[in-house]
Structures are given as C-alpha cells and as structure tokens.
Amino acid sequence: MRPISLPPLIILDFDGTITKSDTINILFKHALSYQSSPARSNPQDFTSAYKTILSAYTSSYTAHLSTQPPKPSRVSVPQERDFLRSLRGVERASFARVGSQHIFRGIERREWRGFGRAAVATGDVLIRKGVTQLWDLLARPDGAEDEPRRPKCCVLSVNFSRGFVRGVLEAAVLGHNPVPGREEAGEEDGGESLDGVEILANSIDAQTGMIYGPEADGEVIATSEDKVRVMRDVVRGWRGDLSKSRSEGEEAGSSGGKCFYVGDSTTDLECLLEADVGLVMADTEPGSNLIETLRRIGLGVEHVSTFHEEHLPGRKEDQKTVWWARDFQEILDSRIIS
C-alpha cells in the first residue's frame, strides 16, 4: 500500500502558457504556405481569405463590445463570467467562418504535426522555460511504494489543431526528431496524448476544412465556458480515480488530490476559478490582462515565490488567491506542485 501517493491533476493551457505567445498566426502561416506550394497538385493562394477572416472577426468583436458593460463596471466574478460567456456567438461564428473559407481543407493530421515541429525548429514558436523539466516530472514512471505517484496532466486549448499542438510539444519535449514509437503512442482511435499527457483541443476535418472539438458531439472549444465544460469532465474522471485509490488506503501529500490549472488569458478565467489552485502565466505582473482582470473582480494575485504550503486551500471554496509565474521553472522552484 502507498501511504502517501494520491497524485495531483495538472491542467495546462497551451497558447501563451506552454508557448511564450499565441500561435494562431503561425498556424495560419504554415497552412497558407502549404496550400500555395508548387509541390501541391492544385496550389491555391488563400491570403485574401485569411484577411477576410481577420477583418470579419475584428468587426464582429468590436460590435459586440459596444453592447456589453464596459470593463471598469465589471467588478465581480459573475459579471466578468457573464461577459466572457457573451463572446460565445462571436467566437463560434469565427470558427465556422474559418472552416467555410476552406483554408485548412486537404491538410491531414500528419501535416499539422509537422507544422508544429517546424515552428519550434525555426523559432517561430518559443517554449517557456521549465517546460522540459515539468515534462520529466509528468513522464516519469511511478516510483517506489513510499513515493508519490506522478501527477495526472492534460493540455486544454482553444487552438484550432490538436495535431499542431502535439507537434509543438513533440519538438519541445522530445527534440526535433522524436523517438520512434514514443511519439506515436496514444493515437489509437484518433486520440492524442504524449507521454500519457492527453491533449484536449480542436481538430480539423481534412475533407472539409471545418473545425470540431474533442468531445463526442464535436462541439468546439472556443470560449472560457467551453474550456471549463471540458475541464469538469476531466476532473470528474480524475476524482473518480481518487475515490477508488482512497478506498484502497492511499493518502494525499500537500498537493496530492488537488487540481491545478495554469493559463495566461481571460479565456482561462473560469478554469482558474474551478481549480483548487489557479496559476497565471505572465511575462510581467503589470501588463498582464488576466492579472488585471482577476484583481478587478476582487481576487488576490501573488507571485509563486511567496508561496508556502499552508497557502494551499483545504477546499476549493476557500480559494482567495491566484498565483502567477513567469515560467514553469518558477512554478517548480516554488514547490507549489510537489
């Protein structure tokens, strides 16, 4: 029997959290280049379609903002949550618009993975410090009976392409030439995982170019509401496993049995509040829209360097503070996840 072994659950955002910045423009860049390549049997230039997508989104988003309460008046969690959820129509219309322009039609999953790997290799996508060290922790085999089990982890993203996310992670944590066999694991039945870390993001139907989500109904992940919906399913399964482990006599250490969420934008706000412990990724404290938002709605935000074990809430309802870090190395050094 393992006396102290219940693992924590770590849920990671991708764009701006694992990566240093948003990757959507890079994703489009690779898709546009692929579609216009002379090597294609029927090369097409989708530059105009891409500009149409950007222009339509900007116009739609700006028009929607004019119908909503201004930022300074949103001073509570419910008010900010209502605003974020009001964006659902704008975001989903944009996803549909992207698909209808056929920019992604004909691009298979292996190409998307290749785009992700290439983006890291060329420096178009930069990875935050400490990601490989975190992955070593996530990928380790379970230890001896008196040691904690490795954390359960998943990546949860609104990114258009789960294959692209996987390719970036392969290049970041396995190197630019992934180990044969290891990088293929977890793809049965169209699933995506890497070293046991599940990737929950949207995918693209190569036949139509339309975007669909990871759940059975194909509902896309586009907003904070969508992310927390998927997160709750993950947490439900994890808590079921914890209940079984507890019935077998296992116990939790300081961070064991707790759910941690790491994100960088307001699309992550509901997930940060749903978790037992929320962690914000930000290059700097001033200038982070998410940190500013959290403080505006009444939550404390402290740097992880000030963390002590007694700060971990006994219950999610006790959470009054969200923590922030510049990278994963700061999170690991703080031992907030131990």
Amino acid at 51: K
Residue 137 within a domain: yes
pLDDT tens-digit map of 77-101:
999 999 999 999 999 999 999 999 9
The string of pLDDT tens digits covering residues 192-231 is: 778 789 999 999 999 999 999 999 899 999 999 999 999 9
Report the predicted TM-score, pTM, of the whole model to 2 decimal places. 0.90
Cβ(161)–Cβ(98) below 8 Å: no
Specify if 40 maps to a domain.
yes
Asked if the structure places residue 2 within a domain, the reply is no
CATH number assigned to the domain comprising residue 160:
3.40.50
- Residue 3, in any domain of the structure: no
Count: domains in the chain? 1
With respect to residue 1, please indicate whether it lies within any of the assigned structural domains: no
Residue 220 has what pLDDT?
A: 98
What dihedral angle (degrees, nearest 10) is formed by the CA atoms of 27, 194, 107, 234? -80
Residues of the chain with pLDDT under 70: 1-6, 142-149, 176-191, 244-256, 310-319, 338
The H or E element containing residue 279 is strand 277-281
Kindly state whether residue 50 falls inside one of the protein's structural domains: yes
CA distances 176 to 3, 33, 115, 117, 182, Å, are 40, 20, 12, 6, 13
Can you read off the two tokens belonging to residue 47? 């530059």
DSSP code of 179? P
- The predicted pLDDT at position 189 comes to 36
Q: Which domain holds residue 279?
A: 9-334
